[in-house]
Structure 1
Amino acid sequence: METNYLIHNPMPVVPDQEQHLAIMFLDIRNFTGLMESQPGQTVVQVVRRLFTAFNQIIKKFEGKVVEVAGDSLYAVFGLQTELKESVNNAYQAAKVMLQTVTLFNEAHSQPYDGGPLEIGVGLHAGKVFVGEFGLDDAPQLSVMGLPVNIASRLQAKTRELNNDLIISEDAYQLLDDAQAIVPHQNVQLQGISHGQQIRLAGKPYAKPQHSLDYLLAISR
């Protein structure tokens, strides 16, 4: 007997509304290498500790985590505040999270995977659709729109540009201490048709530290 599965369109629990938000994407660098070099349970504990701290920081700066998936985190700022304030909150939260990772590394004498843990953060601002969406009985915050894709691509660009915090020009112009961030350039983001002006607001990643065996091998 053939079973027919009807494909239906899940309906939003709350109608979508347009809002101007600051959007942040964060990712742990070299997560695959970490999984290969450390016991799985150790990696899970490290990620949980970091993301628990990140969530507290985001809430402190009036943001909200939309999604956590493996080694990445996605948050928005401005659900209850104006855009300028939300961008500044997101920027301050990003700086505190980067400092938290530094403190975490300093607390461990043996670095993970031959080097310190590092994160990449992309920050953008723009008009998005905000609502609640649920496939089953668990509606969750839903934020959709081109600015979300741009923020995600900015985070992905941190590795290529060797800078752990990249901010779009749109968000940069709303920062109170914008003059403190000088380096800027135009980049092409994957899947985005037009170029994006960005600011390199962080610092370069640590150079990988090779083992003694490797150094001896290349010196021969």
Structure 2
Amino acid sequence: MASPLPDTGARSDGMFREAHRRALQGAGLVRAVLGILLYVVIAAAGSDLQPDEIAVQRQVEAGKIFVIVFSLIGLMVHVLARKDIGTLVLPYVTVVTDATLILGNLAYNHLTTGIPGNMTFLFPVIWVVPIALAANAIYLRPGLQIVATAIYLVGIPAISLAAGYVKGDDRVQAVLPLLSSLGQNPNEVRMAMLVASGLVLVLAAYQGQRLLGHAVHQMALRLNLTRYLPQELAPVLSEGSFEELRAGQRMPVALLFVDIRGSTALSGAMDPAALARFITAFRRRVARAAAQHGGIIDKFVGDGAFVVFGVPRPGEDDAARALACALTLADLVERWNAKRGFDPPVRVGIGVHCGEVFCGVVGDDDRLEFTVLGEPVNVASRLESATKTFGESILASSDVIDAAGEDRAHWREVSTEPLRGVGRSIAILAPLAVDAGAPAT
């Protein structure tokens, strides 16, 4: 048995997954471009270093290696996200890799220069941390940002402590190897990193705004669709699939009609308030059975309903789900009788059939309506009406029994005569197991 159609929550999950995939693509591309630009800036800043400025030269070389790897990782993320590979784990892999590169670069600088831990923030690589954190914002995952921040809050102090501290006049001597890193060119590198952080945050804000706009658009679309589509159908329709329905199409579906027998007598015996509660309770049971088996309630008409299986996308189990829905609904009505003690008991007639129909949204913008048309609709309706004639609660055509792959041993043939208004003979069957709730003839 197929599961019911996906709900709005599932659609939202799909929307956010797609947003995350696109965010990964964008973040990867941004990383690649930033890496190239930073390489150019770092190379330019280190071009006029003197031969004796060994400490700064080592930082420049380490910085070049860092931004090259940073850029390559960005390209890898972009390609994998575009192919929808590893979209759930790629952000975490990227965050850990970034932190490893940055903290490893920082530890290397301390080791090769001998600069103590209280001078850590003089190293240009520290300025890459805001860029990395800003880039994480593009992923739209608060938990990821918390993890990244925690890594740096632990890693940087740990490296600083390992490098040791100096006090007093010793600090002046310790900073001498880095004096040239405080000149105009190195400061231009720092400004470039600051600008890069700002640009990445602008991109993150744009990404969030675009996602919000898409969500608002989809919500407005679905609210508009609920004006004239079955309420179960609107949440699962994309704008594209709605346009397909608007154009109309032929498709194989399974159909179920249900109606309360003797409703005229029931309505005459109830006051208006009680009758309203009764019809509402009946419709609630129809909706429960339809939802359980993935059916779409095309419409309620008085004390009857028309349920369609296979919209908007036909499935191989549509017929089986329609028959299962009929059995479930008959059982729900029987339990309703036992619970409420109706006298006389509530009786229903259910007709089930399948076939190719026209399915679409018809009418102008002032009055649109979801419609299913074709001979199979007429046959299903006639089967429901025939339950009165044959004294059965459920009647199904041989077409739907065969399409569902049902064992004929569980069904008995009631008639092979043509139904009223149907030009061909159809074998009509009733389930052997269902006798409760059968409508009176």
- Fold conserved (TM > 0.5)? yes
1:196 to 1:177, Cα distance in 2 relative to 1, 3 A: closer
> 1:101 aligned to 333, 350, 370, which one?
333
Summarize the Cα distance change of 1:92–1:193 in structure 2 as closer, same or farther, 3 Å threshold. Answer: same
User: Once the 2 structures are TM-superposed, how far is the Cα of residue 207 of structure 1 from its aligned partner?
Assistant: 6.3
Give CA-to-partner distance per residue, 1:106-127, whole Å, 9 cap, x none: 1113x2xx31101100000000
Equivalence for 1:139? 368
How many Å apart are 1:138 and its aligned residue? Answer: 4.6
Per-residue CA deviations over 1:63-103 (Å, capped at 9, x if unaligned) read 10111110110010011554540011111111111111111
Residues 1:168 and 2:400 aligned together: no
Matched, 1:187 2:417: yes
Matched, 1:43 2:275: yes
- Larger displacement relative to structure 2 (82-91 or 114-123): 82-91
Instruction: Quickly say closer, same or farther: Cα 1:129–1:50, change in 2 above 3 A.
Output: same
**1:71-150 maps to which residues of 2 (within 5 A)?**
71-80=303-312, 82-109=314-341, 111=342, 114-134=343-363, 137-150=366-379
Query: How much has 1:136 moved relative to structure 2?
Result: 5.7
Structure 1 length-normalised TM: 0.81
> Residues of 2 paired with 1:207 and 1:121: CA distance?
13
The offset of 1:13, in angstroms, is 7.5
Structure 2 residue ranges without an equivalent (≥5): 1-243
Q: Is the 8 A contact 2:297 2:306 kept in 1?
A: yes
Higher relative contact order (CA 8 A, sep 6+): 1
Does the CA-based 8 Å contact 2:318-2:404 persist in structure 1? no
Question: Aligned pair 1:25/2:254, yes or no?
Answer: no
Distance, in Å, in 2 between the alignment partners of 1:106 and 1:157 is 26
Give 3-state SS (helix, strand or coil) of 1:191's partner: coil
Q: Measure the CA separation in 2 of the matches of 1:68 and 1:41.
A: 19
Q: Residue in 2 aligned with 1:67?
A: 299
Give, in whole Å, the separation in 1 of the partners of 2:301 and 2:440. 27
CA contact (8 A) 1:13 1:139 kept: no
CA drift of 1:60 comes to: 2.4
Q: Distance in 1 between matches of 2:269 and 2:411?
A: 37
1:31–1:135 Cα change, 3 Å: farther
Residue identity opposite 2:418 in structure 1? Q
Which has more strand, going by share of residues? 1
Instruction: Select 2:381's aligned residue among 138, 152, 161.
Output: 152
Output the CA distance in 2 between the equivalents of 1:157 and 1:170. 16
Aligned to 2:407: 178
CA deviation after TM superposition for structure 1 residue 14, in Å: 0.8
**Number of residues of Structure 1 aligned to a counterpart in Structure 2:** 194
Aligned-CA RMSD value? 2.2
* Native 8 Å contact 1:22 1:83 kept in 2: no
> In 2, Cα distance between the equivalents of 1:207 and 1:49?
21
Report percent identity of matched pairs. 23
Q: Which letter maps to 1:171?
A: V
Asked whether the 8 Å contact 1:165–1:200 carries over to 2, the reply is yes
Instruction: Give the superposition deviation at 1:55.
Output: 1.2
SS of residue in 1 equivalent to 2:328? helix
Q: Which amino acid aligns with 1:149?
A: N
String of CA shifts for 1:154-204, please: whole Å, max 9, x gaps: 000001001110000100112244234331130221111222211112426
Compare 42-51 and 152-161 and name the one that shifted more: 42-51
Q: Amino acid of the residue matched to residue 390 of structure 2?
A: L
Any idea what SS the aligned residue of 1:107 has?
A: helix
Contact 1:13 1:134 in 2 (8 A): no
Paired residue secondary structure (1:14): helix
CA apart distance, 1:52: 1.7
Q: Which ranges in structure 1 are unaligned for 5 or more consecutive residues?
A: 1-11, 209-220
CA–CA distance in structure 1, aligned partners of residues 407 and 319 of structure 2: 11
Structure with the bigger percentage of helix: 2
